[in-house]
Chain A
Amino acid sequence: MRYNTTPPPTTFIRKHVFSLDHKVIGKQYYALALLAALVGMVLSWLMRIHLGWTAAAIPGLQLLSKDGAPGGVMTPEYYLQLMTMHGTIMVFFVLTTAPFAAFGNYFLPIQVGAEDMPFPHFNMMSFWVTFVGFLVLIAAFFVGDGPSLGGWTQYAPLSAVGSVAGPGEGTGTILWATSIALFCVGQLLGALNFIPTTLDLRAKGMSMMRMPLTVWGWFITSCMGLTAFAVLMPAVILLILDHVAGTSFFVPSNLVINDQLQPHSGGSTLLWQHLFWFFGHPEVYIAIVPGMGIVSHVLITSMRKPMLSHRVIIYSMGALAVLSYMVYGHHMFVSGMNPFSSLAFSFPTLVITIPSTILVLMWIGSLYGSKLRITSASLFALGFVSMFVSGGVSGFFLAQPSIDIMLHATYFVVGHFHMVMGVAAMFGIFSATYFWFPKMTGRMMNETLGKIHFWLSFVGTYCIFMPFHYLGMAGNVRRYSAFVVEYLQPLIPVHRFITVAALITGAAQLIFVYNLIHSRFWGEPAPDNPWEGTSLEWSTPTTPPPHNNFGDHLPAVYHDPYQYGVKCSTGDYVMQASPEQVATVNEEK
């Protein structure tokens, strides 16, 4: 028995623009994330060039902003504005959008054996609301005195008092907050689809434990998003009210800026930090958990054996999600909040290393005795593991308030989060792209270019972000547009090295973009199951899948998701949808 959620579209607009098909929506999210990543990357180049050569004129920059870069020389405020946009774009429109919204929308229904998400209209709205949010954010470059300069964290009162505090703090911050509010709505509409799909639309035979780890990653992430974004949205609305309505949620009394006494009174700056980080910490797990699911999935297919324990991976991802709500105060150790609270937050933060370690041990331990195939996808997946270790161990330091006294607000923190988010999560996105591109487009990506992309990215990102930790240990403060403090002078050569590495690594990403575009139109035609995978996406009747994913008959699921290393007519694997009875691997359940 089957049902039609929506009939196949006929017009161009319905097929490619306002599409109700989760696959098209997924690709639209991917395109948005790609565009955002390129913008965010260029912003990072501008920032790095300025940090290495502060007085230098960057040719053409004055075209982007006459006031921000007169004669091409970046002003300190413009540096901060670019930095704020870089962080906001990357965290929201790349790291939350690509691994979760893009790949999740495309593959979650297929991997559970459904025709589509249950609420295609809300799904379509979620993309367009997110897209409008992106436009609102970018608009800040072109209005008034430019984008906000308060950092992606927008601490009050800087973010709440308006333009008296600096360029971009008026309209720029309002646009930022509006964009984020729209983004929150988009994500909530997404969770509205992801969770019922996972719980209610699974095919016959697909029990929860038979779902691939990618589905678990997306499911756990949507649950986190539900809680986190629902808290961020009222916070930014209160921030907007402080700007436009004269309220004082976040601004205390008696502030004097530019010799003017500010009209606000009684607000709490720490309230903003609590609300923001209650969202902010789960957000970073939202950025990484889908990547963990994807990397596990890609590694299993590449290793030709399942993980040591399917359940342990699921429980660890779940534990990370639950713990992520209890640790947020580690961003606020020296914020002036009660020092007992700091200690209280540090213990769950230390404990959260345990599920993270378990995951790493599962990935590495499963490699033992495997038959690893090296492809671009598996290289990036392995790179993810290496990067997650590197980025994760710096967490040992930052989890302790006494050490945080020295490392808070230094490049150590910047190195930590770039390694886990800026690199590991990005590697997850790359791995997923190389892995699923054949299914999404019917063509193979160029493996040689993929491997070159990997090598340059892997070595390059280590060259960029490892030194950040040393800079932080030396006390290099973050969010500085220039290094005029005396003790920072000897560190400038390190910054220049990092800048060169960043420019080269950035250029390498263009190889990826070229590969994407070229392969989309001229790549080798792809078979239905190029990687000999077992999960349902490889069982679609056509590649790319038809409008309703599985054609005339929804699949029934006969096996666990990762039956590799078995003797089957297809080879060393049996597909989930195949009724063939083989001696299956007894996974430790």
Chain B
Amino acid sequence: MAKFFAVTIIVIAIASAIPILRHTWVAPEDISTHGALIDEQMSETMAEAGISFLAAQFILAIFIWQFSNPRPDAKIKTFPGGAKGLVIAAMVLVGAEVMALGIFGVKAWADVYFTAPSANAMPVQVQAGQFAFYFRYPGPDRTFGPLHPDLINEANENFFGLDTTNDPDSKDDIVTAEMAIPVNREIHLLMHSKDLGHSFYVRELRVQQDFVPGLDVSLHFTATKVGKYEIVCTQLCGLGHYNMKAYLEVMSQEDYDSWLKKEAAIQ
């Protein structure tokens, strides 16, 4: 039975590795400007984790094969180098490995979080609420009008609680259910939560960020490829969480301009 167990471990280890090696289920193509470093971190980590995984499972299997059901006169032996060697190996090799991953990963993180949006980044506000995303564009005056939570009314489609009568800045704000952005243009995404915790996740853009009720966070990114992508909520927000999604359309500048004009007309 021990030998069968050893073989099973090896078969499982190899079977687990196959979908990884064949890239069967991986993140889709990166359409962001900051994502290359993230993808690189992912590959490096996969290589190191993969080697560790396979090595550990293989050696475990080999030792089970070799040392089970021994002959009665077999002698007990000690692993060469004993505990000391293995501890040093772990500290040095694993230590170096994880420190390298950590240090090289700082840049990937810093590119997203420690850089400020550039001055001509296009601001778009996204509001998350049970169970939909709505988007707001500032319009020609380039200013967002203030939010009045007491004015929020789903039936009248006043999703953001804008007071277009009294707030001049709100008059030209454009509220949409889909997010469209021009390609190759930096976007400054202002994230506001209406009610609870939600999260904004677009796989292709390599962004994921939680909304924090009571605290407006922001992200900036640039999309490099035209197309239609899905924005999904990744923080449990209630029964409609699975259905809380919106489309992100990355368009050419002209297409975006006409889209925005169309949306402005139906406010």
Name the residue on B nearest A76 (C-beta).
B239
A544 to chain B, nearest CB (A): 29
Query: Is the pair A253, B214 in contact by a Cβ cutoff of 8 Å?
Result: yes
Name the residue on B nearest A332 (C-beta).
B210
**B150 contacts the other chain (CB 8 A):** yes
What residues of A have a CB within 8 angstroms of the CB of B53 in the complex?
389-390, 393
Name the residue on A nearest B234 (C-beta).
A409
What residues of B have a CB within 8 angstroms of the CB of A254 in the complex?
149, 214
What residues of A have a CB within 8 angstroms of the CB of B12 in the complex?
386, 459, 462, 466
Q: In the docked arrangement, what's the CA distance between A400 and B129, Å?
A: 29
Enumerate B222-240 residues with CB–CB distance to A below 8 Å.
Answer: 230, 232-240
Enumerate A251-269 residues with CB–CB distance to B below 8 Å.
Answer: 251-259, 261-262, 266-269
Query: Is the pair B60, A405 in contact by a Cβ cutoff of 8 Å?
Result: no
Contact of A403 among B38, B94, B153, B210 (CB under 8 A): B38
What residues of A have a CB within 8 angstroms of the CB of B253 in the complex?
none
**B184 contacts the other chain (CB 8 A):** no
Q: In the docked arrangement, what's the CA distance between A488 and B214, Å?
A: 31
**A481 contacts the other chain (CB 8 A):** yes
- Given A308-B86, A350-B98 in contact, is the A408-B8 Cβ separation under 8 Å? no
- Given A259-B152, A339-B109, A451-B1 in contact, is the A151-B236 Cβ separation under 8 Å? yes
Query: Is the pair A406, B98 in contact by a Cβ cutoff of 8 Å?
Result: no
Interface size on A, residues (CB 8 A): 112
**A536 contacts the other chain (CB 8 A):** no
Q: In the docked arrangement, what's the CA distance between A149 and B236, Å?
A: 9
Contact of B101 among A369, A400, A473 (CB under 8 A): A400
Contact of B1 among A374, A397, A466, A474 (CB under 8 A): A374
**B164 contacts the other chain (CB 8 A):** no
Query: Is the pair B94, A369 in contact by a Cβ cutoff of 8 Å?
Result: no
**B116 contacts the other chain (CB 8 A):** no
What residues of B have a CB within 8 angstroms of the CB of A76 in the complex?
239-243
Name the residue on A nearest B80 (C-beta).
A368
Q: What bracket does the count of chain B residues touching chain A fall in?
A: 35 or more
Enumerate A514-561 residues with CB–CB distance to B below 8 Å.
Answer: none
Across the A-B interface, how many residue pairs have beta carbons closer than 8 Å? Answer: 315
Enumerate B33-90 residues with CB–CB distance to A below 8 Å.
Answer: 37-38, 41-42, 45-46, 48-50, 52-53, 56-57, 59-60, 63-64, 67-70, 74-79, 82-84, 86-87, 89-90
B204 to chain A, nearest CB (A): 9
What residues of A have a CB within 8 angstroms of the CB of B139 in the complex?
none
- Given A261-B150, A364-B56, A393-B53 in contact, is the A372-B69 Cβ separation under 8 Å? yes
Name the residue on B nearest A397 (C-beta).
B45
Some 17 contacts from A to B, beta carbons below 8 A apart, are A158-B237, A257-B195, A308-B79, A308-B82, A336-B212, A351-B95, A371-B70, A372-B68, A386-B57, A405-B112, A466-B12, A471-B25, A477-B233, A480-B242, A481-B239, A487-B203, A565-B76
Contacts A368-B79, A458-B8 aside, 15 further interface pairs with beta carbons under 8 A come to A166-B130, A336-B217, A353-B98, A362-B86, A367-B63, A371-B67, A382-B5, A386-B57, A399-B102, A400-B45, A400-B105, A406-B203, A470-B20, A485-B230, A487-B230
List the interface of chain B (C-beta within 8 A of A).
1-2, 5, 8-9, 12, 15-16, 19-20, 24-28, 37-38, 41-42, 45-46, 48-50, 52-53, 56-57, 59-60, 63-64, 67-70, 74-79, 82-84, 86-87, 89-91, 94-95, 98-99, 101-102, 105-106, 108-109, 112-114, 129-130, 149-150, 152-155, 161, 194-197, 199, 201, 203, 206-215, 217, 230, 232-243, 245
Q: Which 7 A-B pairs have the closest CB atoms?
A: A252-B214, A369-B77, A309-B83, A402-B108, A339-B113, A77-B239, A336-B212
